[in-house]
Amino acid sequence: MKKKTGHLFVISGPSGVGKGTLREKLFQQISDLSYSVSVTTRKPRRDEEEGRDYYFVNEETFKQYIKDEKFAEWALVHGEYKGTLLNTIKQNLEQGKDLVLEIDVQGALQLKEKFPQGIFIFIAPPSWEKLEKRLRGRNTEDEEILQKRLNNAHSELKQIKHYDYLVINNHLLEALKELKCIIIAERCRVRDGLSDFKL
Amino acid sequence: MKKKTGHLFVISGPSGVGKGTLREKLFQQISDLSYSVSVTTRKPRRDEEEGRDYYFVNEETFKQYIKDEKFAEWALVHGEYKGTLLNTIKQNLEQGKDLVLEIDVQGALQLKEKFPQGIFIFIAPPSWEKLEKRLRGRNTEDEEILQKRLNNAHSELKQIKHYDYLVINNHLLEALKELKCIIIAERCRVRDGLSDFKL
């Protein structure tokens, strides 16, 4: 019998929309998901850990990875590089593991070219006011960066049409429920492995 | 703005697989679903009610409906006619209501021709033993009908490839959770209404 390949779930959306929190809570509720740790040149935030939240590298290393075509997607977002290693994705899927990526919109669109079978989930804020409030609440950025992020969010929302699902993060628990359901439903979807289901 | 049309959910699978119970429980948990009551020539079971479970008609009336092209799908299943009125589907979807149909496999495949946008969910038994046990447990059919239903189930399982989702009804609560998640996930799916999402 053909081995079942894993699902590729891509959680994406503007900065400050709550992707990270949602992804963490999701992993607490569905235990058999793998997380693809991204590579970034940005400085770790206070509570972030090397290898758990990101692989933190310098710009030189990052650019070498680009040259070596190690990335499935990479982007320069708000002045910092971020990318996902191609090998991480391939290995997990081949082993039949369901892999979750949490990446920005630029990266998601790139990834869709390489992995059209991926399940692309856009996390949107309920309003501009809430998005701005969340970005300010982080307290880690200056005003200029904040405005840049809000501007980016405007154009990122126009990309929703390229995604499979839209989850509006108004109430965390509600959004989490929807995200969880998308995972559970997609696992029931009739594709390669299930279409020749036999008793 | 264009009015959002409703979703059409089609719950289908072999006789005795537990479609009816699942559908009932589903409606207890998701309140804003409409149910499309089927028309049938079969005799009501003890706990079934006209207009709630089925519209019970005689064969003559049913055949007149066929002639008048009133059906979105109809089938002769195990010697009895069953069908769904086209108007019921159209009206609900146009009003933006999410409609659930619980129909046999023959009917579902017909319906897919007319409503390719429908979400087709196959409910499968966990094993032949369990299916047979359930059919016997009903205690409403004679041995010949039972064997006919089991034979039909064999060929019906080959149709799973035409469905969007497969739910295996081993443990009722687990199957119910999956069914519920399919509804919730499909409501998050980016289609006509959501692709031009604006804040």
pTM: 0.91
In a domain, B197, yes or no: no
In chain A, the number of structural domains is 1
**Residue B1: what pLDDT?**
47
Q: Calculate what percentage of chain B has a pLDDT beyond 90.
A: 73
Per residue in B32-51, pLDDT (tens digit) is 999 999 999 999 988 999 99
**So what's the pLDDT on residue A13?**
96
3-state secondary structure of B55: strand
Bridge partners (DSSP) of residue A120 are A10
B85 membership: H or E segment, kind and range: strand B80-85
Arithmetic mean of pLDDT over chain A: 91
- In this predicted structure, what is the pLDDT of residue A137? 82
Evaluate whether residue A191 is within a structural domain. yes
Per-residue pLDDT tens over the stretch A93-116: 999 999 999 999 999 999 999 999
Domain membership of residue A24 (yes or no) is: yes
Indicate the length of chain A as a whole number.
199
Contacts of B186 in chain A (CB under 8 A): 185
pLDDT confidence of A146, banded at 50, 70, 90? confident
Q: How large is the angle between the packed helices B172-188 and B19-29, nearest 10 degrees?
A: 60
Q: Can you tell me the mean pLDDT for B76-99?
A: 92
State the pLDDT at residue A199. 76
What's the whole-number mean pLDDT along residues B88-107?
A: 94
> What band does B139 get if pLDDT is binned at 50, 70 and 90?
low
Count other Cβ atoms within 10 Å, centred on residue B16.
Answer: 22
* Contact between A185 and B178 using a beta-carbon 8 Å cutoff: yes
- Cβ A188–B167 below 8 Å, yes or no? yes
Task: Give the model's confidence band at A87: pLDDT under 50 very low, under 70 low, under 90 confident, else very high.
Answer: very high
Which of A163, A167, A194 is closest, CB to CB, to B166? A194
pLDDT given for residue B100 in this prediction = 97
How far apart are the CA of B178 and the nearest CA of chain A, in angstroms? Answer: 6
State the number of CA atoms in the 13 A half-sphere of A132 facing the CB.
Answer: 11
| Residue A147 pLDDT exceeds 90 | no
Q: Mean pLDDT across the stretch A49-60?
A: 93
In a domain, B198, yes or no: no
Contact B186 A186 (CB under 8 A): no
- Which three-class secondary structure state does DSSP give residue B110? helix
In a domain, B108, yes or no: yes
Contact A160 B189 (CB under 8 A): no
Query: Per the domain annotation, does B194 fall within a domain?
Result: no
pLDDT over 90 (residue B6): yes
Name the least confident of A141-150, B6-15, B171-180. A141-150
Asked, for residue A3, whether it belongs to a domain, the answer is no
Q: What is the pLDDT of residues B159-195, one digit of tens each?
A: 999 999 999 999 999 999 999 999 999 999 998 656 5
Q: A1 falls in which pLDDT band (50, 70, 90)?
A: very low
- Test A189 with B125 for CB contact under 8 angstroms: no
Do the Cβ atoms of B180 and A181 come within 8 Å? Answer: yes
What is the pLDDT at residue A141?
A: 63
Question: What is the SS3 assignment for chain A?
Answer: CCCCCCCEEEEECCCCCCHHHHHHHHHHHCCCEEECCEEECCCCCCCCCECCCEEECCHHHHHHHHHCCCEEEEEEECCEEEEEEHHHHHHHHHCCCEEEEEECHHHHHHHHHHCCCCEEEEEECCCHHHHHHHHHHHCCCCHHHHHHHHHHHHHHHHHHHHCCEEEECCCHHHHHHHHHHHHHHHHHECCHHHHCCCC
Q: Contact A38/A158 with Cβ under 8 angstroms?
A: no
The residue segments making up the domain with residue B109 are 8-189
Q: What is the pLDDT of residue A41?
A: 97
On the question of pLDDT at B127 being above 60, the answer is yes
The pLDDT assigned to B140 comes to 60
The CATH number given to whatever domain includes residue A188 is: 3.40.50.300
DSSP-derived letter for residue B37 is P
Round to whole Å and give the CA distance between A17 and B38.
Answer: 44
Our CA-based measurement puts residue B100 at a distance from the nearest CA of chain A, in whole angstroms, of: 17
In this model, does residue A194 exceed pLDDT 80?
A: no
Sequence-distant (≥ 6) Cβ neighbours of residue A128 within 8 angstroms: A150, B199
Q: Which of A4, A189, A190, A198 to mutate against chain B (most B CBs within 10 Å)?
A: A190
**pLDDT, position A79:** 85
- What is the Cα–Cα distance from B154 to B150, expressed in whole angstroms? 7
Burial class of B73 by CB neighbour count within 10 A (0 to 12, 13 to 18, 19+): buried
Interface test with A, best of B158, B190, B191, B195 (most A CBs within 10 A): B190
Per-residue pLDDT, B194: 62
